[in-house]
């Protein structure tokens, strides 16, 4: 699949754009990229949609913001990106971090979003950060103040990140660590209640990062939404069971 480049807000942005028909914009999770959505993008194109998967700034092959962004800046970027592509109305698929952004877009710009698919969306935050996020915030914020003076701190930090399963965070640039902290500080629960767009919520039954209880809560918050639970998978059902994931998405998008 061919990658495309475009300049948005002074940043070079990488994205894929395949197929014709109603636009389906795909927003990936934290530390992921459009690469992991190539299979789904191809299936969407074959089903008669225009699939657009973008590397969000700081991820994949896109440029990194020069300032500390939060969710609002990412939403503004997405809208500016789509404006450059001359797309005014679109469907959304958002996974994890991308799912949280999709909630924010659907709540604040309902006139732009036709339908939304929210996959294992990381919308519950604040006091309910998962273990991975808590460790990341601790290492990035508290730990450096107290233990960075220790001579072997860099080696210790690397080991702790690896054991905690946050090696992607360890490899992130300093500004992306700060962006991570700002992004996860905003809870989207109140915004979810305002979403009136038709929504399909897809969740992995065994998700440990964003547990199924979050998916059930999201389904309750978004009135009229549909909840599809994919059994025996964790946080990435679109990768582990792509056929079941796509069939649910296609049926939802084509159903009037």
- pLDDT tens for each residue of 202-247: 999 999 989 999 999 999 999 999 999 999 999 999 999 999 999 9
Of 128 and 107, the structure prediction assigns the larger pLDDT to: 107
Domains and CATH numbers, the chain: 4-125+186-254 (3.40.50.1820), 128-180 (no CATH)
Answer whether residue 198 shows pLDDT above 80. Answer: yes
Rg of the chain (C-alpha set): 18
Model pLDDT for residues 66-90, shown as the tens digit of each residue? 999 999 999 999 999 999 999 999 9
* pLDDT value at residue 65: 98
Which of 158, 156, 183 has the alpha carbon at shortest distance from 169?
Answer: 158
Pairing of strands 113-119, 226-230: unpaired
> What sign does the CA torsion over 207, 211, 213, 219 have?
negative
Phi and psi torsions of 198, nearest 5°: -60, 125
Helices marked H in 29-70: 38-46
Calculate the average pLDDT of the chain.
88
> pTM value?
0.86
What mean pLDDT is predicted for residues 40-47? 98
**Helix or strand or coil: residue 53?**
strand
What DSSP character marks residue 64?
A: P
What distance in Å separates the CA atoms of residue 34 and residue 16, rounded to the nearest whole number? Answer: 7
Instruction: Give the pLDDT band (50/70/90) at residue 199.
Output: very high
Position 164 pLDDT exceeds 50? no
């Amino acid at each position: 699949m061919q990658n495309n480049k475009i300049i948005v807000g002074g940043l070079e942005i990488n994205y894929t754009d395949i197929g014709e028909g109603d636009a389906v914009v795909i927003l990936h999770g934290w530390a992921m990229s459009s690469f992991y959505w190539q299979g789904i993008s191809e299936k969407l194109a074959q089903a008669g949609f225009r699939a657009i998967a973008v590397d969000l700034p700081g991820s994949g092959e896109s440029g990194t913001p020069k300032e500390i962004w939060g969710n609002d800046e990412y939403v503004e970027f997405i809208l500016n990106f789509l404006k450059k592509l001359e797309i005014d109305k679109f469907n959304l698929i958002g996974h994890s971090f991308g799912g949280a952004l999709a909630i924010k877009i659907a709540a604040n710009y309902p006139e732009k979003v036709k339908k939304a698919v929210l996959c294992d969306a990381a919308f519950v935050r604040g006091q309910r950060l998962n273990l991975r996020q808590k460790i990341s915030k601790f290492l990035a914020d508290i730990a450096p103040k107290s233990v960075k003076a220790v001579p072997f701190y860099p080696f210790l930090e690397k080991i702790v990140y690896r054991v905690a399963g946050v090696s992607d965070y360890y490899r992130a640039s300093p500004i992306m660590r700060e962006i991570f902290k700002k992004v996860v500080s905003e809870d989207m629960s109140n915004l979810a209640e305002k979403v009136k767009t038709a929504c399909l919520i897809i969740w992995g039954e065994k998700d440990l990062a964003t547990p199924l209880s979050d998916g059930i809560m999201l389904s309750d918050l978004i009135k009229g939404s549909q909840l599809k639970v994919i059994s025996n998978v964790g946080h990435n059902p679109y990768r582990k069971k792509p056929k079941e994931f796509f069939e649910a998405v296609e049926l939802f998008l084509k159903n009037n």
